[in-house]
Amino acid sequence: MAAPTSLNSPGEFAERVRESTDRLMAVGVDALGLLFDLTSNRLVRFATALTRHQHDAEDAVQTALVRLAGEPQLLANVQCPWAYLLRMVRNEALALARRKQRCSTSSNLGDLVTRCRVDEAEREESNRAVWSALRTLPPQQAEVVVLKIWEELTFAQIGEILEISPNTAASRYQYGMTKLASRLANMQREVRP
């Protein structure tokens, strides 16, 4: 079972990913389960924001992790394995989206595998609204929003992962957030006229 995503601070989480990847390098494929449990949910939600389809996102995550299991030395000289892993998944997700041409805007969330605890049932509606709104963003803006808010990375770190300047990352974030705010407001108006 994959670990909840918000247990650690970003630094702590990155350190745990480093430990897992060190273990993967030392032990081999048998240590992949540990890395999967630690990162899968985060990687899937990041890739889902990019591909706009959870099945494609999971395929991208699977390809990246399987490749990593076969070539753990890829992480040997990497300063931040978590950033590297995010970049690997991003590359796979973009390649998959290009191949399948599924990058069309879709507000249907039927493909999503969701989890909503009983005490959070009232939040389900707003969660769905957020994911619907996120899907309407261009992938370049959606990925920055995901990395900034859910992964709590700085614009410098985001810029490194996406190979853009921190200023570009910041401006994409601003554009993305403005669009999300207006779309969420519209959705709220539709629900409560």
Partner 1 sequence: MIDSCDLSQPLDEVEALIRSAGEYVHASDDLRPRVLENARLQCRERRLRRRFWQSAAVVLFCGLFTSSLIHRAESAMEAQSHTAAWASPMLAPVEVAARSSDPSWQMVESFTQLRLRQAHLLRL
User: Binding-site residue total for partner 1 (CB under 8 A)?
Assistant: 53
- CB closer to partner 1 out of 29 and 76: 29
CB contact at 8 A, 90 and 51? no
* Integer Cα distance of 114 and 106 in angstroms: 17
Tokens linked to 39: 């990162």
- Please, what is the minimum distance in Å from the beta carbon of residue 99 to partner 1? 18
159-171 in b/e burial notation, b at 16+ Cβ within 10 A?
A: bbbbebeeebbbe
* Integer Cα distance of 32 and 69 in angstroms: 7
Residue located via tokens 């507000």: 107
Is residue 154 near partner 1 by the rule CB under 8 A? yes
Q: Is 133 helix (H, G, I), strand (E, B) or coil?
A: helix
Is residue 175 near partner 1 by the rule CB under 8 A? no
- Please, what is the minimum distance in Å from the beta carbon of residue 67 to partner 1? 8
Instruction: Choose the stretch contacting partner 1; rule: CB under 8 A; options: 8-16, 65-73, 81-89, 94-102.
Output: 65-73
* Residues near partner 1, by CB under 8 A: 2, 4-6, 28-29, 32-33, 36-37, 40-41, 43-45, 48, 54, 58, 61-62, 65-66, 69-70, 112-116, 123, 126-128, 130-131, 134, 145, 149-150, 154-156, 166-167, 170-171, 173-174, 177-178, 180-181, 184
